[in-house]
Amino acid sequence: NAGVTQTPKFRVLKTGQSMTLLCAQDMNHEYMYWYRQDPGMGLRLIHYSVGEGTTAKGEVPDGYNVSRLKKQNFLLGLESAAPSQTSVYFCASSYILILYEQYFGPGTRLTVT
Amino acid sequence: AQSVTQPDIHITVSEGASLELRCNYSYGATPYLFWYVQSPGQGLQLLLKYFSGDTLVQGIKGFEAEFKRSQSSFNLRKPSVHWSDAAEYFCAVGAGTSGTYKYIFGTGTRLKVLA
């Protein structure tokens, strides 16, 4: 039981490049989330999903897209990376919206130059 | 607007001393409240949560938190800090319902423990 895993752990992009971050969970959780963590700003919700095939915008969705084609996977895409997207990205999953704890992955550190 | 405030960015305590980390929230209805801990280079781990009932909740690693509605606070406490408690601590509010969901984190408090 690996919990929540994220791929890759580190990545450096040049401005304008694209990439996809993969989040996988093996706990059969319905709900999955993508956050970004920036110094002094805590964690901010980018997008979330309440089930396979569904996604919704969070607090800071601009510049990101997501897909949930399989229940266990939640992908975060950057179509044209910008330096402002330099951050640590965390994926999380949970059984029931709000009521139960969110299980977090180890994070992906992304630098956009 | 809904918000979570952690007024202390950094706190330093000696090992064995007591600890209190402050958290204040702004939310119109009864909130769901959480404390998470993040060790360096790691993801977040849930310490404890409050949904309803007893306002003093116990968590893992000897932590507890008290919900005070009149003060809109959910402060985290530990009677005796261990060196391994050095980490960053986040308070969070879960609010809304399915389809209008928000999960709001505070900006965190970094704890340093002196030997």
Using one digit for the tens of pLDDT, what is the confidence trace for A30-85? 899 999 999 888 899 999 998 899 999 988 999 999 999 999 999 999 999 999 99
Q: How far apart, in whole angstroms, are the C-alpha atoms of residue A102 and residue B16?
A: 30
Write out pLDDT tens, residues B35-48: 999 998 888 999 99
Residue type, A100: Y
Summarize the confidence of residues B63-71 as an average pLDDT: 95
Q: Which residue of B has its CA nearest to A41?
A: B107
Percentage of chain B with pLDDT > 70? 94
For A85, list phi and psi in degrees, rounded to 5: -95, 5
The predicted pLDDT at position B96 comes to 66
**Which stretches does DSSP call E strand in chain B?**
3-5, 10-14, 19-21, 24-26, 32-38, 44-50, 56-58, 64-68, 73-78, 87-97, 100-105, 109-114
For residue B16, the 8-state DSSP code is T
Residue to mutate among B42, B103, B104, B110, with most A CBs inside 10 A, is B103
Q: How far apart, in whole angstroms, are the C-alpha atoms of residue B88 and residue B74?
A: 16
For residue A24 the two structure tokens come to: 């996988």
Q: Is the pLDDT of residue B98 over 80?
A: no
Q: Which residue of B has its CA nearest to A48?
A: B101
The predicted pLDDT at position A83 comes to 97
B3 compared with A21, residue with greater pLDDT: A21
Residue corresponding to tokens 């918000």: B3
CA distance A24 to chain B (A): 14
Cβ-Cβ contacts under 8 Å between A and B: the total is 57
Residue type, A75: L
Q: How far apart, in whole angstroms, are the C-alpha atoms of residue B14 and residue B18?
A: 8
The predicted pLDDT at position B41 comes to 81
Residue to mutate among A21, A34, A43, with most B CBs inside 10 A, is A43
Q: For chain A, which residues lie within 8 Å of any Cβ of chain B, measuring from their own Cβ?
A: 4, 33, 35, 40-45, 48, 50, 56, 59, 90, 92, 97-99, 101-102, 104-107
Q: How far apart, in whole angstroms, are the C-alpha atoms of residue B82 and residue B73?
A: 24
Q: Which residue of B has its CA nearest to A5?
A: B43
